[in-house]
Amino acid sequence: MSRYLCNGRYRFELDDQTSGSALAQRLRVFLAPYFAEVDDDGRTTVDLRVRLHDSAAFNPEWMSLCVTPDIIRETYAPGFTLRVLRGHDPETGLDYAWDAETRVGYRIDRARHTVGFHGDENAFIHLIELVRYYGLLVEQAKGSVIMHASAVVAPDGGIVAIGGAKGAGKTTTMLDLVLSDEYLYFSGDKLLLDSVDGRIRARGWPDYPHVGVGTLRTHPELAKRLDLAAVADDLSIAHTEKRLCKPEAMRAALKASPEGCGWLETVILPNVAARGKLRVDAMGRDAILEQIHSPTLFEWPHRFVTSTWHGLLDAGSLTDSVPPQIVRGLLGVQWQSRVGVARELISA
């Protein structure tokens, strides 16, 4: 059965042909509330078509073509490093990839933007990375920019982005705001921005949250809700280490917005490494432009192997540049420098 899911710009078809796998349902839960099921009108472009099949249906002949080692994604997070053997069938023009460890297979038809995805319950990480990272590339190709940011919903309904480089304190600041009971959790690690009628539309993006151990110690009640209290209490674990938690656990533990889209109102740039009393300053135009064009605030999927490895979209013409209309829109929202932390981290 085919379903069509869309986040306002990126639309994909999910055709479940498995013998009873829960992968399709798990994917839909993971993507909520950022993606909604939509009707297929037969005219709107479908950016990706995913055909789900059982792992056992991956033909041994296809498997035998897969001889070239490749890494789809390499990361410190357990289970998220994805390695495959790749191959090509010159007669059909189709590409194949096979992960022998998880028994996940890909049958890729680049001309039709279609992937036959073969996997069982343990294939979930492969599936979400295919859908997520290709989606980011589609968004970039359509003119969106991807801000490396957490985000919350302010009391007036506007979206507050919390951006910056890794370690700046995005998650810490987001949690301080949400746990104040005045803000709602909106997005954990990425924010998609585009210009609509001169305003900046902000859409959240599904992710697997990585929470710093220091943050867990600062918020012991949250650590309990995430079932990570033992980690927070183990003083042999450094503050700077991070722990993975399930997306549904994070949304259940926090007051989360039921919406996946809103209007950008404020950008906060934290620096939690600076100890002392929290200081919040408004930023001027020159400082804002410097941040917009800095190498740390935005991400460029055409540079991600995880977004491009399958060749479903030619990323050769894409560049690290923020479209002028988005720059203008970003200059029209509030920007704040937030130095220090609302409360000191508990020292080990």
**pLDDT, tens digit, 9 for 90 and up, residues 55-64:** 999 999 999 9
DSSP conformation class of 345:
P
Residue 344 has a pLDDT of 44
The residue-averaged pLDDT of 198-226 equals 92
Give me the mean pLDDT over the 128-143 stretch: 98
Cα-based torsion angle of the residue sequence 206, 210, 215, 217 in order, rounded to the nearest 10 degrees: 120
Q: Which of 53-62, 186-195, 218-227, 335-344 has the lowest mean pLDDT?
A: 335-344
Whole-number pLDDT of residue 343: 53
pLDDT digits (tens, 9 = 90+) for 14-23: 999 999 889 9
User: Taking Cα atoms as reference points, which of 83, 113, 73 lies closest to residue 95?
Assistant: 113
* Chain centroid, CA 96 distance in Å: 25
DSSP letter at 55 equals G
- Whole-structure pTM value: 0.93
Instruction: Quick: pLDDT tens for 255-283.
Output: 999 999 999 999 999 998 777 788 999 99
pLDDT for residue 275? 73
Query: pLDDT digit string (tens) for 27-72?
Result: 999 999 999 999 988 888 999 999 999 999 999 999 999 999 999 9
pLDDT recorded at residue 348: 27
- pLDDT exceeds cutoff 90 at 310: yes
pLDDT band at 77 (very low <50, low <70, confident <90, very high): confident
Report domain extents, the chain: 2-141, 145-339
pLDDT at 342: 64
Rounded CA separation 175/97 (Å) = 39
Q: Which residue has the higher pLDDT, 68 or 247?
A: 68
Residue 124 to residue 148: CA distance in whole angstroms: 24
pLDDT, residue 341, reads 74
Query: Whole-number mean pLDDT of the chain?
Result: 93
pLDDT tier, 75 (very low <50, low <70, confident <90, very high otherwise): confident
What are 234's two structure tokens?
Answer: 């183990």
Instruction: Point out the least confidently predicted range of 168-172, 203-207, 213-217, 279-283.
Output: 168-172
**Dihedral of CA 53/55/60/65: which sign?**
positive
81 has pLDDT over 70:
yes
pLDDT in tens, 173-188: 999 899 999 999 999 9
Determine the pLDDT at residue 347: 30
Percent of the chain with pLDDT over 90: 80
Distance CA 117, CA 293 (A): 38
pLDDT band at 346 (very low <50, low <70, confident <90, very high): very low
For 199-208, b where at least 16 C-beta lie within 10 A, e where not — what string? ebbbbbbbbb
Average pLDDT over residues 188-197: 96
Mean pLDDT of 278-295: 96
